[in-house]
Amino acid sequence: MKPGKNSADRMTALDPERKRALFEATALPLTTALYNTALRLTGASADASDLVQETFLRAYRTFENFSLGTNCKAWLLTILYSVHINQRKRAQHAAISLPPEELDALLDQDAAGGAGGDERLPELDERWGPEVDSALKELAEPLRAAILLVDIEQLSYEEAAVALGWPVGTLRSRLFRARKRLFATLEGYARATGYLRKAVRPE
């Protein structure tokens, strides 16, 4: 049997106490990372807390689907983003659905697109000032989500693409757009704070 299948089988056979202990040891230490991502997605502390709570509730209910030894953060962020999208749809009373090519054209109205941009943004961490959070809020949500999962939470392209429900090529393209816009907005701030000594503008 494959390793992932063995892990999943063992999870299915867990008694409730063992399941709870494993969940507390594996998932709960990631609370801060989930909250930070939720806060930057929602823009409000109360909404972020609700989003994290619902994420953990769903994760616990489906913990048998998680394969021990794999990336728990990626698994939880997949659930978190799904919950977030569903909450937004309910709040809007109707989901607006665009074909991928139309959405990318909309996101690309004032930035040149491309499939490049493989370099992660430098030193994205908790030392940011409010300028960075403000710049993130100005991004369209798909672009912001791509930055949050890849450049902040350090998921691989493949893990982030799964979490967001996009092809890897779409993720790379949106990351390129997001990084280019952030660079344009934050270049002065990055130089002043020492994050960026020799800027290399995305082409």
- Domains identified in the chain, total number: 2
Each residue's pLDDT tens digit, 104-141 = 555 554 443 333 344 444 444 445 678 888 899 999 99
Q: Do the Cβ atoms of 123 and 182 come closer than 8 Å?
A: no
d(CA 32, CA 29): 8
104 with 30, same domain? no
Closest CA to 157 of 135, 123, 124, 166: 166
17 with 85, same domain? yes
Q: What's the pLDDT score for residue 94?
A: 42
Among residues 65, 93, 121, the one where a domain terminates is 93
67 with 142, same domain? no
6 with 78, same domain? yes
149 with 106, same domain? yes
CATH of the domain at 43: 1.10.1740.10
69 with 121, same domain? no
107 with 169, same domain? yes
60, two tokens: 């616990």
Q: pTM score, two decimals?
A: 0.74
Among residues 37, 72, 93, the one where a domain terminates is 93
48 with 133, same domain? no
Q: How high does pLDDT run on average in the chain?
A: 79
Q: At 135, which helix (H) or strand (E)?
A: helix 130-138
Q: Do the Cβ atoms of 161 and 168 come closer than 8 Å?
A: yes
d(CA 181, CA 144): 11
Q: What's the pLDDT score for residue 70?
A: 95
Each residue's pLDDT tens digit, 12-29 = 667 889 999 999 999 999
Among residues 93, 127, 152, the one where a domain terminates is 93
87 with 104, same domain? no
136 with 119, same domain? yes
- Quote the domain boundaries for residue 153: 100-203
118 with 159, same domain? yes
Q: How many percent of the chain have pLDDT more than 90?
A: 53
CATH of the domain at 173: 1.10.10.10
Among 5-9, 79-83, 124-128, 193-197, top mean pLDDT goes to 79-83
127 with 189, same domain? yes
